[in-house]
């Protein structure tokens, strides 16, 4: 069966019809033969063993028995009736029970005829019974395709109620295999199959739905996982290669005066080896004729902003402008203050544009951008407004880009005749397998070391009952001249409750740390922007010793004197959020601490999160644990979770297969970029179909 035939609507499959087809579409998204074929089982039941009735043990397990029904009777009960049958084999008897579908069963069941029954055993005292068994005449069972392991498919309650059971779905798939007499068209080249010791596509599909043995099932699943990853990677790598060969960028040939002056006279500290490596990678990209598309990953405080500024200086030295877009005003303002201070010494014009920028200031910014007097513009999504026009934008930096939608980012690309070079920065470490799938069309740079002199943050977990000891510790730190963050969770569904929680916490802190000896700031999402900024500034200036806040301070506050981060109800936070919050301290030379406060009742996931936080400061290790706990969709947020809607592969379990598939896809495209070689014909046909389906990963970055 070829790719075109697989696009036949499911309604044309024998035994389906319009009603079932409509149900399958609505409940499982199965529209075509291809969709049905790719609705893979999520587990398998071992059907190699046939139990005798006298072998059944008092455990609630699924069993298969050969025997016959000797009698049937209806039994009245409080609501309606139930149908009971006596089922016998040579060793004893048991009950079969049906609470619905009596009429059909009574009319169709054959008494004193051999049946194979399958289902879960329940016990009433010492008597075993099986409610709603799967039943098949022994005669039919012998004729059918034998499988040692029965596939179990994901179904919905509605499908089951309407008679589309696991068995019915399996029969539909069997019907599809009968139609495809000679199997299914191959999607990979013979070379890729042989090189990686893969089974053929037909053999893989047959054994994933009707496993002939555990070994063949393993080989089938490996082949199908490889194929799924291979075509995702083929799209991403090809997109990257096209960008490099066909999308022209501005070549920044010079490393000029501003860059050298900054490096020699202004740079506040020696770059780490990781920063030097990344600057070289960016320099190489910017010097070529192709548009740069690079993702810069670096843990909190690793020095991404300095690398970003040095990249912008490369643009300015070549006569171009640069911009940096951040997701929040707080973060944009922080970037602006740090960058403007350093650029002042270089005579470079830097401006800030956010939703709060006054109309008069906006006009000045717009004019300076268009005549080229403004070199660097930093801001929020205000940068993508239609009125914002650059004279010659050469580099656009996006910070924490997963917080921006695809359409928002695309507007920034269109601010020029030629697209600007793109540098995407994130302080959320992304596990390698996830980065390969979500950002596989970007080149990736990693800053994996912290600046020298930074002491690792000490993280401890304390229960609410230790609160007085925690308050004493806070007092001791304040007496040393340090400042403290106290963060409360904010769960949007119950914003009012959380606000009350925050206010209760604030009041207890103020009681414990009274004026005039202590000053306490409070910041939360319901405050006006100027009030928030005022309270933040008081803390930054050292006028308040304690900042009580919600997660608004997760990104964007840099107070080197703050040495303690207390996270209230820490069990309510995700791992990456806990790690981001912890990164608000540890920015000075002094020893810093993170205290995770929780109640005594913790879920198993909650315990793993807290243990991970106390054991490591490595953001990439934390991200790996987070991926295992939350799954890829949650990790990327709703905007991009669809990209990971995989049919059979699993990013967490199948990282090694993903790496293999990516390297093979790269080899194939390196030798045959347009897939025109005859040997790659099967790959090209499948690739074109996948691209035509407009899978979401075409639009990621």
The CA distances from residue 494 to 351, 489, 490, 498, in Å, are: 38, 11, 8, 6
Query: Cβ neighbours of residue 242 under 8 Å, at least 6 residues apart?
Result: none
Alpha carbons 319 and 372: distance in angstroms, whole number: 9
The tens digit of pLDDT for each residue in 146-188 reads: 666 888 899 988 888 888 888 899 999 999 999 998 789 999 9
Q: What domains appear along the chain, each with residue ranges and CATH number?
A: 1-46+147-185 (1.10.150), 48-142 (2.40.50.140), 257-287+303-426 (3.40.50.300), 458-616 (3.40.50.300)
Alpha carbons 238 and 441: distance in angstroms, whole number: 8
pLDDT of residue 657: 92
- 668 φ, ψ to 5°? -60, -45
**For the residues of 46-98, what is the DSSP string, one character each?**
E-S--B-GGG--SS--EEEEEEEEEEEEEEE-SSSEEEEEEEEETTEEEEEEE
pLDDT of residue 631: 66
Q: Which residues of the chain have pLDDT under 70?
A: 58-60, 145-148, 401-410, 412-413, 416, 438, 490-500, 552-557, 631-644, 693-701
User: What is the chain's alpha carbon radius of gyration, rounded to the nearest angstrom?
Assistant: 32
- 398 φ, ψ to 5°? -115, 120
Alpha carbons 42 and 26: distance in angstroms, whole number: 20
Q: List the beta bridge partners of residue 523.
A: 549
Given a contact cutoff of 8 angstroms between Cβ atoms, the answer to whether 591 and 455 are in contact is yes
By residue count, the chain amounts to 701
Query: In the 8-state DSSP scheme, what is residue 557?
Result: -
Task: Convert 423-445 to b/e letters by CB count within 10 Å (16 or more is b).
Answer: bbbbbbbbbbbbbbbbbbbbbbb
The CA distances from residue 644 to 6, 208, 637, in Å, are: 23, 21, 11
pLDDT of residue 699: 36
Alpha carbons 540 and 534: distance in angstroms, whole number: 10
pLDDT of residue 638: 35
pLDDT of residue 443: 85
Q: List the beta bridge partners of residue 549.
A: 487, 523
Alpha carbons 627 and 638: distance in angstroms, whole number: 15
Among candidate residues 257, 397, 240, 405, the one with its CA nearest the CA of residue 321? 397
Q: How far is CA 646 from the centre of its chain?
A: 12
Return mean pLDDT, the chain: 86
Among candidate residues 466, 482, 652, the one with its CA nearest the CA of residue 570? 466
Among candidate residues 243, 235, 232, 230, the one with its CA nearest the CA of residue 663? 230
Q: Which contacts qualify for 165-172: CB closer than 8 Å, 24 or more apart? A: 165/134, 167/134, 169/39, 170/209, 171/15, 172/13, 172/15, 172/16, 172/36
pLDDT of residue 640: 41
Query: In the 8-state DSSP scheme, what is residue 264?
Result: I
The tens digit of pLDDT for each residue in 66-85 reads: 999 999 999 998 888 899 99
Alpha carbons 658 and 650: distance in angstroms, whole number: 9
Among candidate residues 50, 6, 53, the one with its CA nearest the CA of residue 31? 6
Q: Calculate the CA dihedral of residues 643, 647, 651, 657 and round it to 10 degrees.
A: -120
pLDDT of residue 282: 96
């Amino acid at each position: 069966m070829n790719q075109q035939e697989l696009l036949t609507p499911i309604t044309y499959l024998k035994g389906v019809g319009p009603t079932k087809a409509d149900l399958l579409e609505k409940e499982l998204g199965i529209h075509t033969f291809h969709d049905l074929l790719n609705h893979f089982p999520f587990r398998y039941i071992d059907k190699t063993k046939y139990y005798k009735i006298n072998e059944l043990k008092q455990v609630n397990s699924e069993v298969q028995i050969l025997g016959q029904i000797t009698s049937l009777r209806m039994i009245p009960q409080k609501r309606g009736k139930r149908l009971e049958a006596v089922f016998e084999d040579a060793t004893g008897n048991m009950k079969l029970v049906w609470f619905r579908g009596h009429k059909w069963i009574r009319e169709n069941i054959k008494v004193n005829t051999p049946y194979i029954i399958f289902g879960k055993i329940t016990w009433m005292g010492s008597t075993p019974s099986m409610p709603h068994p799967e039943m098949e005449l022994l005669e039919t069972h012998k004729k059918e395709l034998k499988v040692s392991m029965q596939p179990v498919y994901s179904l919905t309650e509605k499908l089951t109620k309407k008679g589309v059971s696991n068995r019915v779905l399996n029969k539909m798939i069997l019907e599809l295999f009968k139609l495809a007499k000679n199997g299914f068209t191959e999607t990979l080249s013979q070379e890729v199959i042989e090189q990686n010791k893969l089974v053929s596509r037909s053999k893989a599909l047959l054994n994933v739905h009707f496993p002939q043995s555990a070994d063949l099932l393993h080989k089938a699943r490996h082949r199908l996982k490889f194929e799924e990853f291979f075509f995702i990677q083929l799209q991403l790598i090809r997109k990257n290669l096209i960008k490099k060969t066909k999308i022209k960028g501005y070549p920044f040939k010079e490393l000029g005066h501003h860059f050298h002056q900054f490096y020699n006279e202004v740079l506040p500290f020696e770059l780490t080896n990781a920063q030097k490596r990344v600057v070289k990678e960016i320099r190489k990209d910017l010097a070529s004729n192709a548009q740069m598309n690079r993702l810069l990953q670096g843990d909190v405080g690793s020095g991404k902003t300095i690398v970003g500024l040095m990249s912008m200086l490369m643009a300015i030295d070549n006569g171009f402008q640069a911009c940096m877009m951040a997701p929040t005003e707080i973060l944009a303002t922080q970037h602006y203050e740090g960058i403007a201070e350093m650029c002042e010494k270089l005579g470079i014009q830097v401006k800030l544009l956010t939703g709060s920028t006054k109309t008069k200031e906006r006009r000045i910014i717009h004019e300076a951008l268009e005549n080229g007097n403004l070199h660097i513009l930093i801001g929020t999504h205000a940068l993508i407004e239609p009125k914002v026009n650059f004279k010659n934008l050469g580099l656009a930096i996006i910070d924490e880009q997963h917080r921006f939608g695809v359409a928002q980012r695309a507007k920034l690309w269109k601010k020029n005749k030629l697209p600007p070079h793109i540098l995407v920065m994130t302080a959320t470490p992304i596990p390698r397998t996830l980065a390969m799938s979500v950002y596989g069309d970007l080149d990736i740079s990693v800053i994996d070391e912290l600046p020298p002199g930074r002491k690792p943050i000490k993280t401890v977990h304390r229960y609410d009952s230790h609160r007085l000891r925690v308050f004493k510790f806070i007092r001791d730190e304040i007496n040393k001249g340090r400042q403290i963050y106290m963060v409360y969770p904010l769960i949007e569904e119950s914003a009012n409750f959380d606000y009350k929680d925050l206010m209760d916490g604030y009041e207890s802190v103020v009681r414990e740390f009274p004026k005039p000896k202590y000053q306490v700031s409070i910041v939360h999402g319901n405050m006006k922007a100027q009030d928030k900024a005022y309270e933040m500034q008081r803390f930054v200036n050292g006028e308040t010793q304690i900042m009580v806040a919600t997660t608004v301070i997760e990104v964007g506050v840099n107070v080197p004197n703050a040495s303690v981060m207390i996270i209230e109800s820490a069990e309510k936070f995700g791992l990456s959020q806990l790690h981001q919050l912890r990164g608000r301290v540890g920015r000075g030379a002094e020893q810093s601490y993170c205290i995770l406060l929780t109640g005594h009742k913790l879920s198993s996931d909650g315990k793993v999160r807290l243990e991970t936080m106390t054991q490591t400061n490595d953001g990439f290790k934390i991200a790996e644990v987070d991926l295992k706990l939350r799954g890829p969709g949650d990790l990327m947020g709703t905007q991009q979770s669809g990209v990971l809607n995989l049919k059979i592969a699993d990013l967490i379990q199948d990282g090694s297969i993903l790496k293999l598939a990516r390297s093979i896809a790269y080899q194939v495209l390196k030798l045959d970029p347009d897939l025109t070689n005859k040997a790659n014909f099967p790959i090209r046909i499948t690739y074109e179909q996948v691209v035509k389906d407009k899978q979401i990963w075409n639009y990621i970055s």
